């Protein structure tokens, strides 16, 4: 999510139209004697049961909630095969090697040339392993990304709130739309807040940073790094949700790798921001 994508993405112009697909694909019932359909893909498996659509009001955004049992391998690395994922992976690899540190160094150089010097320490922290941990994408992240791409294309963002209860059950809220930031969805946030008040732990906030190959500028993004600072963008959202909702971690995925941030990373982001504030002679807390 980026309220300041104009800064993150230099000169971005979106041209690709997006097609809305049905939220939950209906599987045809095979007639007697008819061969069973081929195994469903990752997104279809995710959507196959325990999913409810949520009312989000006006606009093109869509939201759903999905329950997952404590057992299962949704949080393990994604190693399976999936036709939609293979197509996505191939289309990116045709343009760039998605090695996460090379992507980060590439965007850091663009920011440096553009004079965004205040962003550079954050890049260095992620690249040198002082902020968060980059790991391969897991199955849940891949499934949510695929269902999002099926609805809204590859150059848009979703967010997901991943909650866990005392028995280890997961509840996942997906909120996505065709824009470069997930739509504002107060109805989803209200449900997350109510769950948190009812004893669910907000384990993770997940969102994607897409590859933006239609960007006429050279910055095609796809970087696993939180946007913004303590008063805007991803960082401000994390600090606010950690303080108000007990957010346990944050995940930023580009479809290949995911940056995982934990409480000590939030502390680091908060303290570096406090230094920035001191330099500016301010003490106001925005969140």
Question: Which residues lie near Zn ion (CB under 5 A)?
Answer: 1-2, 227, 234
Which residue's CB is nearer to Zn ion, number 7 or number 135?
7
- Are residues 138 and 75 in contact, defined by beta-carbon separation less than 8 angstroms? yes
Which residue's CB is nearer to Zn ion, number 3 or number 45?
3
Which residue's CB is nearer to Zn ion, number 1 or number 163?
1
Only one residue has tokens 């449900």, namely 191
Which residue's CB is nearer to Zn ion, number 171 or number 205?
205
Supply the minimum distance, in Å, between the C-beta of residue 132 and Zn ion. Answer: 13
Supply the minimum distance, in Å, between the C-beta of residue 220 and Zn ion. Answer: 15
Which residue's CB is nearer to Zn ion, number 173 or number 200?
173
3-state SS string over the chain? CCCCHHHHCCCCCCCCCCCCCCCCCCCCCCCCCCCCCCCCCHHHHHHCCCEEEECCCCCCCEEEEEEECCCCCCCCECCCCCHHHHHHHHHHHCCCCCCHHHHHHHHHHHHHHHCCHHHHHHHHHHHCCCCCEEEECEHHHHHHHHHHHHHHCCCCCEEEEEEECCCCCEEEEEEECCCCCCCCCHHHHHHHHHHHHCCCEEEEEEEECCECCCCCCCCCECCCCCCCECCEHHHHHHHHHHHHHCCCCEEEECCCEEEEECHHHHHHHHHHHHHHHHHHCCCCCCC
Which residue's CB is nearer to Zn ion, number 219 or number 234?
234
Supply the minimum distance, in Å, between the C-beta of residue 208 and Zn ion. Answer: 8
Q: Is the dihedral angle over the CA atoms 227, 110, 179, 87 positive or is it negative?
A: negative
* Structure token digits, residue 232: 């805007």
Which residue's CB is nearer to Zn ion, number 47 or number 269?
269
Question: Which residues are registered as beta bridge partners of 267?
Answer: none
Supply the minimum distance, in Å, between the C-beta of residue 159 and Zn ion. Answer: 9
Residue 226: phi and psi, rounded to 5, are -70, 140
Supply the minimum distance, in Å, between the C-beta of residue 198 and Zn ion. Answer: 28
Supply the minimum distance, in Å, between the C-beta of residue 5 and Zn ion. Answer: 9
Supply the minimum distance, in Å, between the C-beta of residue 102 and Zn ion. Answer: 19
Using CB positions, name the residue nearest to Zn ion: 234
Supply the minimum distance, in Å, between the C-beta of residue 1 and Zn ion. Answer: 5
Which residue's CB is nearer to Zn ion, number 168 or number 262?
262
């Amino acid at each position: 999510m980026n309220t300041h994508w104009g800064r993150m993405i230099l000169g971005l112009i979106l041209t690709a139209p997006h097609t809305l697909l049905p939220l939950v694909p209906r599987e045809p019932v095979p007639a007697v004697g008819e061969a069973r359909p081929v195994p469903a893909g990752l997104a279809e498996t995710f959507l196959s049961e325990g999913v409810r659509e949520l009312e989000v009001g006006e606009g093109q955004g869509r939201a759903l909630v999905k329950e997952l049992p404590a057992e299962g391998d949704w949080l393990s690395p994604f190693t399976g095969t999936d036709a939609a994922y293979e197509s996505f992976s191939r289309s990116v690899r045709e343009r760039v090697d998605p090695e996460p540190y090379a992507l980060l160094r590439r965007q850091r150089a663009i920011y440096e040339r553009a004079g965004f010097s205040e962003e550079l320490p954050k890049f260095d922290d992620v690249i040198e392993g002082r902020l968060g941990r980059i790991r391969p994408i897991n199955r849940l992240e891949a499934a949510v990304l695929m269902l999002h791409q099926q609805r809204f294309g590859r150059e848009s963002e979703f967010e997901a709130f991943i909650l866990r209860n005392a028995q280890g059950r997961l509840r996942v809220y997906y909120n996505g739309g065709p824009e470069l930031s997930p739509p504002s969805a107060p109805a989803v946030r209200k449900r997350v807040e109510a769950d948190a008040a009812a004893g669910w732990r907000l384990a993770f906030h997940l969102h994607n940073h897409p590859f933006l190959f239609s960007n006429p500028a050279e910055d095609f993004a796809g970087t696993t790094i939180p946007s913004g600072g303590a008063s805007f963008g991803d960082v401000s959202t994390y600090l606010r949700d950690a303080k108000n909702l007990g957010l346990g971690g944050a995940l930023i995925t580009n479809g290949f790798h995911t940056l995982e941030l934990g409480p000590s990373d939030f502390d680091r982001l908060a303290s570096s921001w406090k230094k920035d504030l001191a330099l500016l002679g301010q003490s106001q807390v925005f969140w």
